[in-house]
């Protein structure tokens, strides 16, 4: 996962410092025996409940070939207003009351493992972060709350043929349990 915006956009309009603790979400794996959370794309990183991560300096880079700006190193997460459907996280911008917008929505990331867990994290007050307009966030620090959803796919209703449309669920509306 990589935070990005279009080339030519001013990254400073997305730059913020948390005025209070901010709830965000990450996909990964919860280890029940040892009570830690591994993020999906960085399995060598371990989050322990209620422990602040090491601070990382956020650096904006340019991809001139594909014309976007990005931040590769940092703690990546999603806004609670991002939506989840069919192993994909959809952006927070195009939501409608009929939950049919996902046909035109671009999805942010695809998750291929049905055992993925959704973890709840905090960007601590005073932490530097960037949030783009679709809800991708990168911060200089994170804290795992110890809360997670055991199998994210279990929150979605079954799709019967193509006639029944499952709802899109906002990440902040998924019921979480305490892992520790």
The domain spans of the chain are 12-178
CB under 8 A, 24+ apart: contacts of 37-41: 37/117, 37/119, 37/144, 37/148, 37/179, 39/76, 39/119, 40/1, 40/111, 40/113, 40/116, 41/1, 41/76
Tokens of 180: 């520790």
For residue 156, pLDDT over 50 is answered with no
Q: CB 50: neighbour CB atoms within 10 A?
A: 11
Whether 86 and 116 have beta carbons less than 8 Å apart is answered as no
Average pLDDT, the chain: 77
Q: What is the pTM of this model?
A: 0.79
For residue 108, pLDDT over 70 is answered with no
Whether 165 and 99 have beta carbons less than 8 Å apart is answered as yes
For residue 157, pLDDT over 50 is answered with no
- Please give the backbone phi and psi of residue 109, each rounded to the nearest 5 degrees, phi first: -155, 150
Q: What is the largest CA-CA distance in the chain?
A: 48
Tokens of 59: 């650096």
Task: Tell me the range of 35-49, 107-121, 135-149 where mean pLDDT is highest.
Answer: 135-149
Give the separation between CA 137 and CA 129, rounded to whole angstroms. Answer: 7
Tokens of 73: 């190193």
């Amino acid at each position: 996962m990589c935070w990005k915006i279009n080339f030519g956009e001013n990254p400073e309009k997305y730059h913020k410092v948390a005025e209070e603790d901010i709830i965000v979400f990450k996909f990964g794996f919860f280890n029940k025996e040892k009570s830690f959370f591994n993020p999906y794309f960085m399995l060598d990183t371990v989050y322990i409940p209620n422990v602040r991560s090491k601070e990382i300096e956020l650096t904006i880079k340019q991809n001139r070939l594909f014309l976007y700006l990005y931040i590769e190193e940092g703690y990546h997460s999603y806004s609670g207003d991002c939506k989840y459907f069919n192993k994909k996280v959809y952006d927070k911008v195009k939501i409608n009351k009929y939950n049919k917008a996902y046909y035109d929505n671009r999805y942010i990331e695809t998750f291929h493992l049905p055992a993925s867990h959704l973890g709840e994290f905090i960007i601590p007050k005073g932490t530097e972060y960037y949030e783009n307009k679709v809800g991708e966030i990168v911060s200089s620090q994170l804290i795992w709350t110890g809360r997670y959803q055991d199998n994210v796919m279990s929150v979605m209703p079954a799709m019967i043929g193509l006639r029944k449309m499952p709802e899109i669920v906002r990440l902040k509306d998924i019921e979480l349990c305490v892992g520790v």
